[in-house]
Structure 1
Amino acid sequence: MLFYIFLTALSIIASFLILKFTIAPYIWLCLLWIIFFLACFFRTNRTLLKALFVYPIAILLTLGIFETYLWFKFQQKESMLQYENKDYSQPHDILGYAPQKDIVTTSRNYHGNELLYDVTYSINPYGLRVTPEPTKKDKKACILFFGGSFTFGEGVNDEQSMPYLVGLKSGYRTYNFGFHGYGPHQMLAALEHDLVEETIDCMPTHIIYQVIMGHVSRSAGHSRWDKHGPKYILGEDGKVKYQGHFDDQTISSWLGKVRDKSTIYRKIFQNGSYIFVNKQDVELFIQIVNSAKKISKHLFKESLFHVILWDPSPSSNDTNVQHYNMIMKGFNKNHIRVHLVSDILPSYKNKVKYAISPHDWHPNYLAHDLISYYIVDTIINSH
């Protein structure tokens, strides 16, 4: 009996060390516990126990082989993102994380040995990506942009990002509040916690939020990079309530971090994080956007709130299309103005035409440029 107690304790301690210090920990965890059950198998003389030990060995062997296969496969295929400034992104108590203020950094993305892009991100003293100086006589009017990497302009230079191009074409001052991995919860938190008012020195005429379907899972807290992001829940009255951060529940946060280290989980399940999205998550997303619209109107009386939505292609899975239909219904119900990217970009089904690369689906300069023309002509100049 002492042998089994000692072996179990040793294996548990080793498991924690593996999770903390190793690359691809689940490969080593499977190997560790296979050795554990093999030791138990050879230690006992009881036929029934030997038979019982065979099952976990078989399961762990299967999972270990699959984990190893996926890890090596995606190590070869995954893009490698490099930032010249290691402190480019830093913790932020309200937004979860944010760019460091007043820096310029180079970002390079490789797919194997192929360079996908080599671009510069310039962040101003307020922690936003730079936009051009306004040329309009009315310097007090401005346009605010929110969203994730599509709004920020991941993979394109400063002057190629959509908010920058809108500033050039319209003459208005523009503010780019987008950042890699952000969702609507960062937009709402920035508005609620006075981050926007502290940053701008103008009166917004338009507030534009650019959406991809992945934002639903982000606002629900399913993103592994956003564990400290602002957490919102739906109250019994259907209204959104701020609840601190996703990782305020320590045990739940720790379990999420442990789970995220599995290649099987990341590539089979989280690769399409919509798998974990349910109707409640979609409704939460809708109400977060609706709350952002309402508070925008409260803060900036003359502003108009618009959404640019990258709608799913016809080839998307049924779940994604179902969620899209729910979102459109919810937006219409709450009188949120929506502009579909499929109506903006010609030949929208040809995704490669508007992507940086088949290995990086962020929009390229052509997409940013066409969307900026649409925003200026259809949204700004039509009001």
Structure 2
Amino acid sequence: MILKNKIVAIKKFIINISVLLITCLFICLLLIPFEIILRLKQKDNERIMITSPPVIICSEEGRKIARGVKGEGTITVGNNPHIFYFETDTKGRRITPQPNMDNKELNCLFFGCSFTFGTGVNNNQTLPYYFGQLHPEIEVYNYGIPGASPQEIYLQSTQSEIFADISPQKPTLVIYTFISDHLRRLKGTLNLIFRAPKWVGCLPELEFINNRIINKGKFEETHPYLFSFANILNKSFAVKQLINYTQFDYPSPFINENYDFLYILLNETKNQLSTYFPDLDFVIFIYPEHCSTPATCPNLNYFMNLLNEKKDLRVISCEDKEMMGNYFRLKSSGKHIILDGHPSPECYQLFAEWISKELKSKKIIP
């Protein structure tokens, strides 16, 4: 009787496994036509960026800018190439041409991602460049890293040698450009991992424990199975389209807890930089698109209220109606972005004027 029951159980197990395998095979057969169609369709819209020589290096402390390189970048969407030129100095900063002037009065350090580095534009078309043209009395430095995360910006601040050639006696201004994707990069969310596992895998995972920031290692090391799975799924156009269409994401990037952690990282970045530059102001520039289209950055008001309550970090948001109107007009003309969606030179020039106006009104600069 016992033997008979075991045989029945084995048969049921084999049947269940067979049904599961047949179901998986059936789903795969259904997906294959969609995969083929999407590959043909998306080929005309796929974004590819190549820099020669490579401008990004993956290190134990996250991604860094290659030092002392000069080269060309090509962004291709479909059959449309967009070419830009870049050059970095020996400290890993993008070179920013500036007006010659002796005895400059202030330092200005720009931090952020590709929106600061200036992906898709030349050295003389970036946000730091246009700001420097408006203020020849200020020495400008571009510490932007394409695809950077808030945790990489914090880790930059701990590397004293990249600031060694900047005068600590002068008043120093730090400008960080915030975009909503920084919250996804902060937590290494599934949406981001499945879209670009190699890039996200190099981002460092930080935690705030006992009033200390702990570097746990790169995301691909702290979540190896997830990244192995993501690397497989990433090869499927159907899966990527499904994730993009549904905007499926986990953990949710726009919860209060993540904004709190972002604040902690930025405040700790300020504190670290203050050890090199005692007279320092830290300013956050909120990317205006998040004000014109709130759905691009849910729960932003929580972060704004937090900044206004704490008062440790200054903020430039979208309250200036004149500048916001200028942005709307530029956006309606379609000239606010380049081929792949990064800001255009005209947009960076507007942002530089916007930041300059706000800094003067807050009496941060004369």
- Name the structure 1 match of 2:8: none
Structure 1 stretch displaced more, 264-273 or 122-131: 264-273
**Which of 25, 50, 54 is the equivalent residue of 1:82?**
50
Aligned residues of 1:210 and 1:308 also touching (Cα < 8 A): yes
Following superposition of structure 1 onto structure 2, how do residues 1-383 of structure 1 map, counting pairs within 5 Å? 49-50=14-15, 53-62=18-27, 65-66=30-31, 68=35, 69-85=37-53, 87-94=54-61, 96-115=62-81, 117-133=82-98, 135-139=100-104, 141-171=106-136, 172-198=138-164, 200-202=166-168, 203-222=170-189, 223=192, 224=197, 225-235=199-209, 239=211, 241-247=213-219, 249=221, 252-262=223-233, 263=236, 266-269=240-243, 272=247, 276=251, 277=253, 278-311=255-288, 312-313=290-291, 315-317=293-295, 320-322=297-299, 324-335=300-311, 336-340=313-317, 343=320, 344-346=323-325, 348-349=327-328, 350=331, 352-357=334-339, 360-379=340-359, 382-383=363-364
Structure 1: gaps of 5 or more residues? 1-45
Deviations 1:309-333 (A, max 9, x none): 1152565548x322x1222122222
DSSP 3-state at the match of 2:302: helix
Q: What is the Cα deviation at residue 347 of structure 1?
A: 5.1
The alpha carbon displacement at 1:142 in A equals 1.3
Distance 1:274 1:80, change over 3 A: same
- Separation of aligned partners in 2, 1:57 and 1:76: 34
Please state how far the C-alpha of 1:107 moved relative to its aligned partner: 1.0
Counterpart amino acid of residue 235 in structure 1: I
Give the letter aligned to residue 328 of structure 1.
Answer: M
1:241 deviates by 1.2
Per the alignment, do residues 249 and 101 of structure 1 end up closer, same or farther by CA in structure 2, a change over 3 Å counting? Answer: closer
Show structure 2 runs of 5+ residues with no match: 1-10
Partner of 1:124, secondary structure, is coil
Q: TM-score, normalised by structure 2?
A: 0.78
The aligned length equals: 329
Q: Secondary structure at the match of 2:342?
A: strand
Q: Distance in 2 between matches of 1:273 and 1:135?
A: 50
Alpha-carbon distance change, 48 to 290 in structure 1, aligned in 2, over 3 angstroms: closer
Q: State the match for 2:7 in structure 1.
A: none
Aligned CA distance change for structure 1 residues 305 and 354 (closer, same or farther; 3 Å): same
Question: Once the two structures are aligned, what percentage of the paired residues are identical?
Answer: 20
Once the two structures are TM-superposed, the CA of residue 361 in structure 1 deviates from its matched residue by: 1.4
Deviation, structure 1 residue 195: 4.5
| 1:76 CA drift (Å) | 3.5
Write the letter of the residue equivalent to 1:100. Answer: A
Q: How well do the aligned residues superpose, as a CA RMSD in angstroms?
A: 3.1
The residue type equivalent to 2:226 in the other structure is L
The answer on whether the counterparts of 2:283 and 2:315 sit within 8 Å (CA) in structure 1 is yes
- SS in structure 1 at match of 2:202: coil
Post-superposition shift, 1:75?
A: 3.5
- Counterpart of 1:129 in 2: which secondary structure? coil
